[in-house]
Structure 1
Amino acid sequence: MASQVKPDLLSSAPAHGARHVAIIMDGNGRWAKKRFLPRIAGHRAGVEAVRRVSRAARELKLECLTLYAFSSENWKRPASEVADLMGLLRHFIQSDIDELHANGVRLRIIGNYRVLEPSLVEMIDGAMARTAGNTGPVIAIALNYGAQDEMVRAARRLAQRAVAGEIAAEDIGVEAIDEALDTADLPPLDLLIRTSGEHRLSNFMLWQAAYAELYFTDMLWPDFDAHALGQALDAFRMRDRRFGGL
């Protein structure tokens, strides 16, 4: 049964102040290893955590939840594991798109997902098109995503516009780069969470995290739930965010 948000967390939700939360979902393999299970069992449990946390994000009134599902470096993993991950993604879209759409959620993909298998790309495009007109929260899935690759692609787009005479080189500033990134129409990132006890960003939303609050937990991703998200938001609420000021 999906974990439910506790009443005290719901009552404090409007006060937490976060609009956009991103999560590096780490620890599926270690979760499985601790239970003497194959890694795919950990990934399946991780998908259940995605469902729990996505529902909690809606109840906690987040505008956007971004989840790091598959990095551009994950291609280095064994081909069988990559195939399992893509199969889980297919299943998630097929089984959950009705619920997401019914709840007004807008599905977004960030990253260079178009290099994936054509039928999967078609499925992703269909899911995004189906939810594009929704006005509720955004669930953004980072798929074949790497922050350095994202910035390279943004730089190329701006360079091409400059060569075409659409913009002048001196007009390229922070705002122009923001607008060229995959996250252009998403709220600014407020809180970045990483599970499993690791303390690094692993090439995730490097530009967007410039002034985001960072929250690290030893909890493995398959164990993460609504209460854990609430704890992270409670910690965020206590931070003094000065953005370089006093």
Structure 2
Amino acid sequence: MAKGRVTERRGKIPAYIQVASALRRRIESGDWQPLQQISTLEELEQEFQVARVTVRQAVDLLENEGLVTRKQGRGTFVNEHVNDKRWLQLATTWDGLLASIRDNVPRYIRVPNPPAFPRLAEGEGKPASSYVFLRSVQMKDGTPFGVVNVHLARDIFEKAREEFTKHTVLPVLAMVEGLEIRDATQTMVIGTADRETAELLQVSLSAPTAECRCVVIDADGVAVYVADITYRSDCVKLTIDLLEGLKRQQKDGRRTRQKAA
């Protein structure tokens, strides 16, 4: 088992969160099996070179997450059934993306002086004449997991103003009558939470995040939807079917042979 010594804080992430992250990885990777007793507080204190109170805080965090249970006089044990904290599967298709966020209930936040236009990189289309800026926090079971900043073309917004201000924007956009979508891309990078994002997501300053950027371009080459989304890293996972293209080719080939027959 790899040892995880905490010799200094990364940025301003508290030491107990670093320790908790290392212990969480051991549970998720199977180093510590269900019902197995984990290392004692003294052993963890020596391993990570931190104070006993820091180790206690780390174990408290794991217990609150439902990963471990402390038993008086016996020690701390991995729970038999561990919930998958990384429940948010990042979509890799348009339909998958819409399905994954359709039922989200955003909590919109008023922004006093929002940026009038989004930053557009090469290949992300040309700007609309005017945009509406929408910021929201996405919640699950009362816990924030994502901060969404959206620039939406104003003419599109006016077609369904009420829907756009009550629901997640992208599924509403997909239903706008007369809108022809030419391109839709999503890019993900690993980042860290700034002060404002950390407060909204209830994580530590500089905590790791998954930052997604989604751009939707209409038939005229206009970027009608530009979203920058920051997710807590502890709820996100990305799964890609590496044989998806091959499976599609095989499926198309079977259809062709069936038609020929």
Please say whether Structure 1 and Structure 2 have the same fold, judged by a TM-score greater than 0.5: no
**TM-score for the superposition, normalised by structure 2:** 0.25
With the length of structure 1 as denominator, give the TM-score of the two structures: 0.26
Greater strand content: 2
